[in-house]
Amino acid sequence: MAAKKQARKTNTSGEELLEHYKNMLMIRRFEEKAGQLYGMGVIGGFCHLYIGQEAVVVGLEAAAKEGDSRLTSYRDHAHMLACGMDPKGVMAELTGREGGYSRGKGGSMHMFSTEKKFYGGHGIVAAQVPIGAGLAFAEKYNGTDNVSFTYFGDGAANQGQVYEAFNMASLWKLPVIFVIENNQYAMGTSLQRASSSPELHTRGTAFMIESEAVDGMDVLAVKEAGVRAVAHCRAGKGPYILGIKTYRYRGHSMSDPAKYRTREEVQKMKDERDPIDHVREMLEQGKHATTEELKAIDKQIKKTVSEAADFAQTSPEPSLDELYTDILR
């Protein structure tokens, strides 16, 4: 077995590392629970889990400030938790209940929070990309220094509208960070089989957009890149592209044949590059937390997730007259 990547030496404070650890673990435990509930038939339809990719959204949220907006694809649970949305409201939307963020009418892929400036949850691959540029357009129009974090996957990176958005964002100097979450598989099609150029961060070169490649299994590397991107956008220099290489442990959605990659490949990533293990090692090596303290954190998170799951199963289904509400204002 190949050697595990050494935990990096860092000047990051124990406090911050602990924060990353909690946030990533929260996502993982939440997603594991969602997977269980799906298996029990409590969650229906599509359900796309983020397990393995936690460092991406947690690292970038650590670089954001109040007022920034974010939106992503249908693999969206983690983005909501990371920006501070209530796990109960997210889980109850997965179960299609009244207590969900969309009162049960959106589902896993369609949730929003104007309070946290989370603008969805988009089910059409890449549709969120020009919309994210539009959020940045509104910020610029209103004269704020807020930025728009626009997440999309390696599959979406081949959609034409991404390049239409790149062009306008660069032309009009919009404060948008295009975050390409390259988990290396668009459903079951590997990057090599779908993309003529594997270096996705260079996709904005033709539009003069600054960019960098980022190790998405290292939360500190993601945060550092995020800080650079945010500074660029807030300074009025226009968009920035982060090509973040990450890995999804689970299938594309719950019904995934798992035929397009080997079990060994997945296991190797889990063993050698797990983003949560990596931070735990840094915490232990830096003596920032004892094993007992980490266990206590794990216990607390499990409790929060379990409460969310309970809420999601006890919250009533939406009332039948909700069928005809919220179509028009």
Partner 1 sequence: MAIQILMPALSPTMEEGTLAKWLVKEGDTVESGDILCEIETDKATMEFEAVDEGVIGKILIAEGTENVAVNTAIAVLLEDGEDASAADSATAAPAPASAPAEQAETVPAKALTPVDVPMEDIPEGTTFTKTTVREALRDAMAEEMRSNEKVFLMGEEVGQYQGAYKVSQGLLDEFGEKRVIDTPITEHGFTGLAVGAAFGGLRPIVEFMTFNFAMQAMDHIINSAAKTLYMSGGQMGCPIVFRGTNGAASRVGAQHSQCYAAWYAQIPGLKVVMPYSAADAKGLLKSAIRDPNPVIFLENEMVYGTSFDVPDLDDFTVPIGKAKIWRAGEDVTLVSFGIGMKYALEAADKLATEGISAEVVDLRSLRPIDYDTLINSVKKTNRCVTIEEGFPVASIGNHLSAVIMERAFDYLDAPVINCTGKDVPMPYAANLEKLALVTTDEVIAAVKQVTYR
Q: Please report, as ranges, the residues that interact with partner 1 according to CB under 8 A.
A: 69, 100-106, 110-114, 119-124, 127, 129-139, 141-142, 148, 160-161, 163-165, 167-168, 171, 325-329
Closest distance of CB 77 from partner 1, Å? 16
Q: Give the residue with the Cβ less far from partner 1, 157 or 297.
A: 157
Instruction: Output the DSSP codes for 4-65.
Output: PPPPPP----HHHHHHHHHHHHHHHHHHHHHHHHHHTTSS-S-----TT-HHHHHHHHTT--
Choice between 6 and 142, CB closer to partner 1: 142
Q: Which is nearer to partner 1, 21 or 149 (CB)?
A: 149
CB of 118 to partner 1, least distance (A): 10
Nearer to partner 1, 289 or 312 (CB): 312
In the complex, what is the shortest distance from the CB of residue 101 to partner 1, in angstroms, rounded to a whole number? Answer: 7
Nearest alpha carbon to residue 154 among 221, 90, 216, 219:
216
Residue with Cβ nearer partner 1 (26 or 129): 129
User: From residue 39, how far is each of 33, 44, 47, 208, 328 by CA, in Å?
Assistant: 10, 9, 11, 46, 35
Q: How far is the CA of 232 from the CAs of 130, 236, 239, 255, in angstroms? A: 19, 7, 8, 40
Residues 6+ apart with CB under 8 A from 105: 318, 322, 326
Helices 275-285 and 14-39, interaxial angle, to 10°?
150
Q: Is 204 exposed, middle or buried (0-12, 13-18, 19+ CB in 10 A)?
A: buried
Q: Which is nearer to partner 1, 2 or 327 (CB)?
A: 327
Question: Smallest distance, Å, CB 205 to partner 1?
Answer: 18
Residues in the chain: 329
Give the DSSP per-residue string, 99-120: TSTTTTSS-TT---BTTTTEEE
Smallest gap from residue 287 Cβ to partner 1 (A): 45
Cβ distance to partner 1 smaller for residue 96 or 275: 96
Closer Cβ to partner 1, 81 or 131, answer by number: 131
Place of tokens 């081949």: 158
For residues 240 and 203, the answer to whether their CB atoms sit within 8 Å is no
Helix (H) or strand (E) holding 82: helix 77-82
At closest approach, how far in Å is the CB of 308 from partner 1?
18
